[in-house]
Chain A
Amino acid sequence: MMRGRALPYLLVAPAFVFLAVLFCVPLVQTIALAFQTGTGFGLGNFVQMAEDLNFNDAVVNTFRLVGVAVPLQMLAALGMAVMLGHLRAGRDLVLWIWTIPLGLSDLAAGLVWLALLNDQGYLNTVLFHLGIINGPESWLTYETPMALFAAIVIAEIWRSTAIVMVVLVAGLQLVPKEYAEAASVFGASPWKIFLRVTLPLLKPSIQSALILRTVLAFEAFAVVLAIGGRNFPVLVSEAYTWQHFNQAPAIAAAYAVVVMGISLAATVVYLRVLRTPAAQRA
């Protein structure tokens, strides 16, 4: 029957149209804009982008941030997810509290940390009362790059570890208890069970969480901007600066294409490195 055959396509159509209009069209437009030069198509915008004062800093800072924050987040999220699994009472309450940062906007989270760490912030107040410092210390200036970087990493971890944890909690719930029980019958220690049984079975979830988190970390923006301002350029904040302050949308588009390329590459790497053979999928 025609109607029966068309039905699945009709049901998919709204989502398809939505994606095509609001995602694919702007994507194609952005790529076209990035390669458009005054006279035709070329790499002019990318050259201007790469020759810019902040480009190298932006690339290095972005990779530093991803390289430090994402592994720490994975470890923290894994620990949190496992701890949740062992809680007897109040599990929902703890989960709820841990996911509060997810409900905050990036910018608000950045401003919260700025309020903690700036010269008149709570950190300095505490340090002053403990007698560690004699007056307001600056932590977030171009003269204190390590402290600034640490602050941004901490804020990023605080803000977005929860999303990783939620994925891993869901993954842990899918792991059948029988495997762990069997391992313990054969005398495996809890640590060994975690390393040899739970972790391998969790691999698909870890893969999803890593892809999600890494792509988002390459797009880190509002937290970085709130805390680091122009002292800590990253790729997306440079795209924003070119679009809004320098009013050069083509260069901003070139940055967007670079960010997209890096995110795609990272996803492919994760898909290959953490591949789980179909037979092993839990």
Chain B
Amino acid sequence: MQPIRTSRGFSRRIWGAAPALALAVLAGLAGRPAQAADLAFSSGALAPIEEAQKMRTVILKDYPGKVEFLPDQPPALLTRVRAELEGNAHVSSVLGANHGDLATLVPSGALLPLDDLAAALASRGFAPDLLKMGRLGTEHQLYIPWMQATYFMVANKKALPYLPAGADINALTYDQLRQWGEAMQKATGKRMVGFPAGPTGLMHRFFEGFLLPSYTGGVVTTFKSAEAERGWSEFAALWKTVTPNSTSINFMQEALLNGDVWVGFDHVARLLGALEKQPGDFVTFPAPAGPKGRGWMPVVVGLSVLKGAPDAEGARKLIGYLTQPSTALVTAREVGFFPTVNAPLPPDLSPGLKLAVSAIAATGGAKDAVGALLPIGLGAKGGEFDKVFLDTFQRIVIRGEPVRATLDRQGEALQRIMNETNAPCWQPDPVSTGACQVK
């Protein structure tokens, strides 16, 4: 099974606490977890044990110098980093984390500006959008984009004959996806489309990053709009072709491999297992488009240097090493996160990875792409934010409650969260002063 990569894996939550606790105890006993001579690299990414081992034994193997790789679940990681900063007990020099997690450290000034490093590394050919995201809305480059991932769709080749006439699989619309699902249902007698709506699935990201941006061009501001009403209604119609097992699916790769689902959506890390195992059986393509374009959610992991870093110079060197194209390719091969720099993929790339890479490129490069970032500035309210979308889904799609009334009701809950956190709007919602407002 592919290890869980997001913060929502529940077994990882349980077990993830144990090493953190052990580390805290050790840190308390020894005074510091890392040897003074080693460069401490704290990371919210690659925390599953297999990936952490790949990081230590393969990706960092050629780095000239000793690096202590200290991965942790994002909430625990941020707590630890804040404790280091506030307690003035600096251990970590480099911090690798999701865009949204790094954003929470900006107000405290914890991230050192890296403008000169970005300039020095410019020849690597970073994707300009990603570099811009690394400014985190400030004047300075606060992180260097390290790895990226996203969500896309996978179809079993058996599903291809049922594609609606004239549909281009790389430029599908939600309407065509529904017709496709209906055609498959008619032919097989079963609902063959799948979404990861299980307890630890990433369904909320589909609403926040794909469905709503496609229909409304926004997420928060347009939550109650007439466009949103249409989007939810059409999704409820599409759901009639979706397997009812979807509310138990956490990793789409399993449902794809056992044939429960012919056409499914998920995060690349939760699809790669199927693509690697049976690359000949599947095709990959971007999520559908709605009236406002093709919503998609880039997942960017950045590298920052922390204020008070014991070894700021070594930290910069390590960032340089991790973002060089050769290391980025090793990273893609070993852990399934993709380069942020211009790194021509080698011809010997495994067929499964090739499928993933082509879908990621097609998603980000789509002419009608509407990029929607992970929520920013919500702090501990991130979970409740996700719940607003999941509850809306539960009410409208599963329980068949009226769309308008549900959006009004859930819109209030959404506004309460925005007010409590005072979080300004993020892309694709237009820039706001003060808390983002549900219109």
On A, residues with C-beta under 8 Å from B are 53, 118-120, 135-136, 138, 140-144, 225, 229-231, 241, 244-248
Contacts and interface: CB of A to CB of B under 8 A. Distances in A.
28 contacts: A53-B394, A53-B395, A118-B248, A120-B260, A135-B190, A138-B244, A140-B248, A141-B244, A141-B245, A141-B247, A142-B398, A229-B198, A229-B199, A230-B197, A230-B247, A231-B248, A241-B199, A244-B13, A244-B383, A245-B199, A245-B387, A246-B386, A247-B380, A247-B381, A247-B382, A247-B383, A247-B384, A248-B384
Contacts, number: 56
B141 to A, nearest CB: 30
Nearest to A51: B413
Contact of B245 (A138, A245, A247, A248): A138
Contact of B198 (A135, A230, A241, A247): A230
B430 interface: no
Interface string B374-392: 0000001111101100010
B56 interface: no
A228 to B, nearest CB: 9
B247 A245 contact: no
B198 A245 contact: no
Interface string B207-251: 000000000000000000000000000000000000111011000
Interface of B: 8, 10, 13, 75, 190, 197-199, 243-245, 247-248, 258, 260, 380-384, 386-387, 391, 394-395, 398
B248 A245 contact: no
Given A247-B380, A247-B381, A229 B248 contact: yes
Contacts of B380: 247
A31 to B, nearest CB: 21
Contact of B8 (A141, A230, A245): A245
A49 B349 CA distance: 50
Contacts of A247: 75, 380-384
A225 B13 CA distance: 15
Contacts of B398: 142
Contacts of A138: 243-245
Nearest to A225: B199
Binding site secondary structure of chain B: helix
Nearest to B9: A244
Nearest to B191: A138
Contacts of A141: 244-245, 247-248
A142 B260 contact: no
B395 A245 contact: no
Contact of B244 (A118, A143, A244, A246): A143
Nearest to A53: B391
A136 B391 CA distance: 29
A163 to B, nearest CB: 23
B381 A142 contact: no
Given A119-B260, A120-B258, A142-B244, A246 B199 contact: no
Nearest to B378: A247
A37 B149 CA distance: 38
A253 to B, nearest CB: 15
Contacts of B391: 53
Contacts of A119: 245, 260
Contacts of B381: 247
B91 to A, nearest CB: 25
Top-4 shortest CB links A-B? A247-B383, A141-B244, A246-B383, A143-B244
Nearest to A228: B248
A227 to B, nearest CB: 9
A245 B383 contact: yes
A248 B244 contact: no
B194 to A, nearest CB: 12
Contacts of A248: 383-384
A135 B177 CA distance: 25
A158 B383 CA distance: 35
B358 to A, nearest CB: 30
B384 A230 contact: no
Contacts of A244: 10, 13, 383
A248 B413 CA distance: 14
Contacts of A246: 383-384, 386-387
B20 to A, nearest CB: 15
Nearest to B11: A107
Contacts of A245: 8, 199, 383, 386-387
Nearest to A135: B190
